[in-house]
Homo-oligomer: A and B are copies of this chain.
Amino acid sequence: METYTSIPEDLKLAVLEKIKPTEAERKKLTAVQEELASEVKAAADKLHVPDICVKMVGSAARGTWLSGTHDIDVFISFPEETPRKDLEKKGMEIAREVAKYAEYAEDRHAEHPYLNIIYKGFDVDLVPCFRVASACQLKSAVDRTPFHNEFVKTRIEGREEDVLLMKQFMRGGGVYGSELKTQGFSGYLTELLIIYYGSFEKTVKAASSWKPGQKIDIMQHSELEHTEPLVIVDPTDPRRNVAAALSLDKFCMFIDHCREFLKSPELKFFFPSRPLPVEDKEFLEILESRKSSQLAIVFETPDVVDDVLYPQLYKMEQAAASLITEYDFSLIKTGVWSGKTETVVMLELISAALPNVKKRIGPPVWVREHAQKFKGKYEGDENVFGGYIENGKYIFEVQRKYTTAKGLLEDRLLNSSLGKQVHQSVSKGFEVLEDAEICRLKDQDFRVFLRKWV
């Protein structure tokens, strides 16, 4: 174990000054929450839906939200025995009634439908749910949230600032957010870490020695084996790993972030400077200095939410990588970026071109049947440069099918296993930009991605 000096108090204060909601912010939030609760009750009464409870959940309800974020989660809970159809119908009717006073409303869908509204500047989710006796008897995943709320609320008091510090610290390390795009730490997971380790500082110190398989079971009630790198058994459900969505790389990035921070605790770990977009000239200079091959597969961004889009993009990234390596190109790395109109899968290769000649290694000469079949296939073929025996095996030098990675992708990418919406979009058309051609992509957010890429 390495020893560290403590994290300076004034550093924490400096961070909190930027992220802790002000008294005014707090008051406004409370007022809006109360208003929303009344609106829901009123709507239920108006629509003659009895036995409804309104629950404020999420970080706003627990005092662990970051200043500047304006998210409120309002759960409209129905008795457990309510038929699902009724819950969905009536729940949404109530939500729509509330939405009459909103600036904006949009139907959304998780396991069941919910309504997202903008209400007095706040981003509010109105979520119908079942009121179940315990989190083990869930009817759907959202029903779990009130239990999380209960568990955290009673234990986090006095440590809200540690949660805020940790959330901002994770943001700074690029590992905050459990949506499928990020595959990082959720808010609830962060709160559990603070509850378990006791403080921001203790969590950072502990995490810097984490190894895959790290398990935290606050309630000592785990019922299942988990294989994810980090296992935080849900205190409200002995079968669930709260960190199931955390990827190995985000797990490791967090460990690394903790270690580096402990070496020199500075503000930049909470507020890293945002990289500047790369300009054409600089990008061309970087290409010249790296001398590798950059390929950008560009297509129209499919019109689906991130949680649908990103798993498909990561799948496509994998598919492109497999295709490229299957045909002998050497990959340096792959990446994904998606903007409003265009989406890009990036590939960096040792070289985007290969010689015409390709060496085919056959079976050993003495494995007679196979060897003769192999030889028969290539000998005398006009696409064959020549043949010989090497290490006891027949070798034929044949014409390579794809001598450029671009040609390969253009010809075979659509045969790869792609997700539904990505496949649809790529089918409509895509282009493969090489090196300097990538300057065609002007989106400034892409240029920021490109800065980190090269």
> Taking beta carbons and an 8 Å cutoff, which residues of A are in contact with B?
209-212, 229, 248-249, 251-253, 255-256, 259, 289-293, 328, 332-333, 350-351, 354-357, 359, 364-366, 368, 372, 375, 385-386, 388-392, 394-395, 397, 403, 454
Is the CB–CB distance between B291 and A357 below 8 Å? yes
Query: Interface centre among A249, A366, A375, A385, by most B CB within 10 Å?
Result: A366
Chain B residue nearest to A253 in the complex (CB): B389
Is the CB–CB distance between A355 and B252 below 8 Å? no
Query: Of B212, B328, B366, B391, which one neighbours A366 at CB under 8 angstroms?
Result: B212
Is the CB–CB distance between B359 and A289 below 8 Å? no
Known contacts A212-B392, A366-B211, A368-B209: A357-B252 contact under CB 8 Å: no
Is the CB–CB distance between A356 and B209 below 8 Å? no
A355 contact set on B, CB distance < 8 A: 290-293, 350-351
Query: Of B252, B368, B391, which one neighbours A392 at CB under 8 angstroms?
Result: B252
Q: Within the assembled complex, what's the spacing in Å between the Cα atoms of A312 and B95? A: 86
Main secondary structure, interface of A, reads mixed
Chain B residue nearest to A369 in the complex (CB): B2
A397 contact set on B, CB distance < 8 A: 290, 332
Chain B residue nearest to A290 in the complex (CB): B357
Is the CB–CB distance between B359 and A389 below 8 Å? no
A389 contact set on B, CB distance < 8 A: 249, 252-253, 256
A364 contact set on B, CB distance < 8 A: 252
Q: How far is the CB of A436 from chain B (nearest CB, A)?
A: 15
Q: How far is the CB of A369 from chain B (nearest CB, A)?
A: 10
A252 contact set on B, CB distance < 8 A: 364-366, 389, 392
Is the CB–CB distance between A333 and B366 below 8 Å? no
A368 contact set on B, CB distance < 8 A: 209
Q: How far is the CB of A200 from chain B (nearest CB, A)?
A: 21
Query: Of B210, B251, B291, B356, which one neighbours A356 at CB under 8 angstroms?
Result: B291
A357 contact set on B, CB distance < 8 A: 290-292, 332
Q: Within the assembled complex, what's the spacing in Å between the Cα atoms of A389 and B257? A: 11
Q: List 28 A-B contacts (CB under 8 A).
A: A210-B366, A211-B366, A212-B366, A212-B392, A249-B389, A249-B390, A249-B392, A252-B364, A252-B365, A252-B392, A253-B389, A256-B365, A256-B375, A256-B389, A256-B394, A259-B372, A290-B357, A291-B355, A291-B403, A292-B355, A332-B359, A332-B397, A333-B359, A333-B395, A350-B355, A351-B351, A351-B355, A386-B454
